[in-house]
Structure formats: structure tokens, C-alpha cells
Amino acid sequence: MIPQTQSSGTPREAPALAPVTERERITALDVLRGFAVLGILAMNIQAFAMIIAAYLNPTAYGDLTGANRSVWLLTHVLVDQKFMTIFSMLFGAGIVLMTSRVEARGQPSAGLHYRRMGWLILFGLLHGYLLWSGDILYWYGMCGLIVYLFRKLPPGRLLVFGLLAIAVASGLWLFFGWSMQFWPPEVVKEFTQGRWQPPPELVAREVAAYRGSWLEQMALRVPGAFAFQTFLFLILGLWRAGGLMLVGMALFKWGMFSAKRSPVFYLALIAVAVLVGIPTILYGVHRNFAAGWEVRYSFFFGSQFNYWASILASLGWVGLIMLACQKPALAALTRPFAAVGQMAFTNYLLQTIICTTVFYGHGFGQFGQVERVGQIALVAAVWAFQLIVSPLWLRHFLFGPFEWLWRSLTYLRFQPIRRQLLQAAR
């Protein structure tokens, strides 16, 4: 790179790469990210508290009547895949935002980006194998390696490529469902018992493992994390998460995540979610119950209603949050969500720490004992905690602790974290 020069002709070094400052942050983006990371817990809690099959098949474990059925239905319709969709789109938007700012200074972004993704992949591996096999950070880091290459495309092409990628996983799911009729009976049995409707002895084994010590949990956590980060990533995560990141890049370029579009535009997103997205999801629920949650139909075919309609529903949430961000009178309400969003990495990992402590054997050992109503009560408590603590933390610190670590590793130098130290340095 040619050094910049001052008017005197003296060479001046290009400014050092550094994380985005507070003045450069887009508040609406932080609010939406905070809303998404909190919302993700409402679905993940089922994987923390119950056997893994119950995450996809509500009839596999636990009570599904009365209030528990209502909790499941509400989380399925309003939460399941919706907040993962928002978070994935925001991740793609973040890639465009960060790299464009770096490149606007006349500096290359590739090294910084790939170093950032490399550390995220490592964090995901550690999170998945040591704490919780449902980690999503690894998927995001791996997808980030690829979608970076598309970041400069015009938004129309990004949207098309993103939807095509999302369709690949859908097509694979439909193909597997069609081909299941030709699977050997023993393979069907193993698949059904392992992923959909485990028999009592397998349920007892999973419950005992996660109520056991940290080392005893590894017998299930390690193979679970390995499957999640290999086969499931290749047939689902790469295409769904990666495609949503491309969609997010397009929507960011169109100004959708910065609360700059008209209120009518955001109201239209809400209308599409309410009139098309949610009814489609409810119809899918009806079909699954009508089929008795039979593995071939519900796993491969019945899941497609929510797979696609969740994108429309998530855009409804985006519209609602952007409208709130446009209202100065609601600033006191949105500000805590912005703080949670600024600390999304820390809050995501903190959710794992809290929930594994509550449910796993190295903590209070409540795995398999808390019904869905109790789970959602814990979710509400964690939400309240993070909405209170995140703003308090950011009064004294510039980043969350894990954001600080990630940034320091990415930029290859310790970043200032305490506000008074930064002010003193200035």
C-alpha cells in the first residue's frame, strides 16, 4: 500500500485497523441483534432442558397438554427458526458493514475478516465440545468464510443467490423424505429412534448422561457436536445459514436494518408475516398433528411449512422492531435491547453457561425434569437479567468480555475495555 502524504509531503502511515467505535454503531442494528439473541433462547431452552428429539418432535418427551402445549405452540409459531433467521441475516449485514468501513480507509479487509472468522470457528468448537452440542458459532464462522466473497454484489443478486442457497437444503430434505421409502428397515429404525422417537432405554441414557458429571456428559455431547458440525452443517447449516447471510447483505444494502425505510414499508412486512407467514406455519402444525407426528412426513415434509414461512415471520419481527426504533418515545424501551445486542456474543455464551448450570449434572441437575412452562419462566428470568446487566456493564466497559477477547485476537493487540482508560488515553 502506498503511504498517505500530508501537505508538507511527509509520508503518513495509514490509520491502524480498529473495531468500530460507538459513534459508528447503528443503533437499530444493535436493537434488532439484542432482540434476536434473547429470542433464540426461547427455542434453545428446549435443547438445554430435554432430550434432543423433543426439539423437533414435541411428542417425543414431556407433557404436551394444557399450558405446556400452548407454550410449545407459541414458541414454534413465533420463535422457532425466526430468530436464527434474523441473527443469520444480521451476521451477513455485519460482514458488509465491517469490511466496507475497512475498505473505505483504503485498507484490505480479507486478512481481518478471515482472522475474525477463524477465531469464531475456534470459539464454536470449544463451545460445542465443552459446553453444549447445539452451538451455532461454528456454522456462522464457516459460512462467513464463503459469503465474504459475495459481499460486493448488488442487493438483487445477493437476494437471489441467498434464496437459491436456502432452497438447496429444502430440496435435500424433500429428497431424503422421498428416498426414505427405499431405506432398509434397520436404517429407518435407527433414524427414528435416534432423532425422532427414542425408546425408553435411550431416553433414560440421555437423561442420565446430562444429569451426570461434566465428563459423563461428554459421551453424548462430543458425538452430538461432531454430527452438528459435519453432516448437519453440510446438508442444512451451510445452505440455510449461508443463504440467510446473503439475504441479510441484500436487505442491509436496501437500508432495512437501519430503521430508515418508511413506516408503511415496515407495516407491510408485519402484514405479510401475519397474513401469510403465521397462517402457513399454523397449517403446517395442523398437518403434523393430523399425521400423528409420523417421522417420514413430519421430519422431512411437514417441516417445510415452517422452514419457508419462518423467513416471512422473521421479517415481521424486523418490521416491528424497526418501527419501535423510529419512535423517540420508545428509546427507553429499546436502549436495553441495544446493549444486549452490543454484547450478543457474551450474552449467547452466558445463556449456555446459565442453562447448563441449571439443567446439567455439574450444576443443579434438572435435565428432563422441567416442563415447557417452567422452561419459559427461566427464559423470562434470563431475559430480565441480561436486559438489566448489559446496560450496566456498558456504562463501565466498551465491550462485553467475549467481544473484547474476540476483537483483541482479531486485531492482534489488546483493545481498551474500560471507558475511563480510553478517555485518559485520549
Averaged pLDDT in 10-residue chunks for the chain of 426 residues:
41 55 83 98 97 96 97 98 98 97 94 98 98 98 98 98 98 98 96 94 97 98 97 98 98 96 98 98 98 97 98 98 97 97 98 98 98 98 98 97 97 91 52
Instruction: For the chain, report the end-to-end CA distance as a whole number of angstroms.
Output: 28
What burial letters (b/e) apply to 392-406, b meaning 16+ CB within 10 Å?
Answer: ebbeebbbbebbbbb
Residues 159 and 233 both lie in one domain = yes
What are the grid coordinates assigned to 158, written together? 445477493
Task: Name the domain boundary from 326, 343, 375.
Answer: 326
Residue 422 has a pLDDT of 53
Q: Are residues 369 and 252 in the same domain?
A: yes
Predicted local confidence at residue 301, as pLDDT: 98
Output the pTM of the full model. 0.93
The domain tally of the chain equals 2
Q: What is the pLDDT at residue 325?
A: 97
| 353 belongs to a structural domain | yes
Q: Are residues 227 and 81 in the same domain?
A: yes
Rounded to whole angstroms, the Cα distance separating 10 from 3 reads 10
Write down the pLDDT at residue 73.
98
Whether 184 and 215 map to the same domain: the answer is: yes
3-class secondary-structure state, position 371: coil
Are 195 and 258 in a shared domain? Answer: yes
Domain termination residue (choose one: 295, 326, 357):
326
What pLDDT was estimated at residue 2?
Answer: 36
User: Does residue 17 sit within a domain?
Assistant: no
232 within domain boundaries = yes
Residue 350's pLDDT is what?
98
Domain encompassing residue 270: 264-326
Same domain, 155 and 249: yes
Tell me, yes or no, whether 191 and 117 share the same domain.
yes
Does residue 6 form part of some domain?
no
Shared-domain flag, residues 241 and 268:
no
Q: 18's torsion region: left (phi>0), alpha (psi -120 to 50) or beta?
A: beta
Residues 132 and 258 in one domain: yes
Is residue 111 domain-shared with residue 205, that is, in the same domain?
yes
pLDDT at position 10, please?
44
Burial (CB < 10 A; 0-12, 13-18, 19+), residue 383, is middle
Tell which of 290, 311, 326 closes a domain.
Answer: 326
Kindly state whether residue 24 falls inside one of the protein's structural domains. Answer: no
pLDDT value for 420: 73
Q: Measure the CA angle with vertex 139, ends 279 and 61; round to 5°.
A: 55
| Angle between helices 27-49 and 344-359 in degrees, nearest 10 | 20
33 found inside a domain: no
Task: Please check whether residue 336 lies inside any domain of the structure.
Answer: yes
Q: Is the domain of 186 the same as that of 292?
A: no
Is residue 240 included in any domain, yes or no? Answer: yes
- pLDDT computed for residue 25 by the predictor: 84
pLDDT at res. 22: 64
Same domain, 71 and 101: yes
CB 409 within 8 Å of CB 345: no
